[in-house]
Amino acid sequence: MIKELKTPHYKYVAKDLGDWYGFYPTVTQLKKFLVGEPEMKEMIRTQPYLRYGLDTSEREEIAQIFARKLTGKSWPTGATKKREAKKFFKEFVRKAKKAGIETDLEAMYE
């Protein structure tokens, strides 16, 4: 059984996270955050299709993993109060930068 994505597929995941969520992990950072996560089982099973981009649910699951590991909180949704979302993004950016992950999310809390 395959235990993780192949390196080229991590590149597709990284591109989608940057395009959709505004943070840009490297392949090494993706592996650190994602390998062994239960949500990754289905993505590993379907990895040949990743070159066409991630599905919405896959993107959301990966963003939630990063949010949970960096802040201990869920990624904000449309129902999240504005003040709480700003607080989340400020913490996410601070901790992402500390982990060496580039972001362009500063506008989300300014």
User: Looking at per-residue confidence, does 95 or 56 come out higher?
Assistant: 95
Distance, in Å, from the CA atom of 62 to the CA atom of 20, rounded to the nearest integer, reads: 11
Share of the chain above pLDDT 90, in %: 47
pLDDT value at residue 85: 93
State the helix-helix crossing angle for 27-34 and 56-71, rounded to 10 degrees. Answer: 80
Which three-class secondary structure string do you get for the chain? CCCCCCHHHHHHHHHHHHHHHCEECCHHHHHHHHCCCCCHHHHHHCHHHHHHCCCHHHHHHHHHHHHHHHHCCCCCCCCCCHHHHHHHHHHHHHHHHHCCCEECCHHHCC
User: Looking at per-residue confidence, does 34 or 29 come out higher?
Assistant: 29
Model confidence over 43-77: pLDDT tens digits?
Answer: 767 666 666 667 788 888 889 999 999 999 999 98
Distance, in Å, from the CA atom of 101 to the CA atom of 81, rounded to the nearest integer, reads: 26
Distance, in Å, from the CA atom of 101 to the CA atom of 30, rounded to the nearest integer, reads: 10
Residue 1 — pLDDT band, cuts 50, 70, 90?
Answer: very low
pLDDT value at residue 108: 86
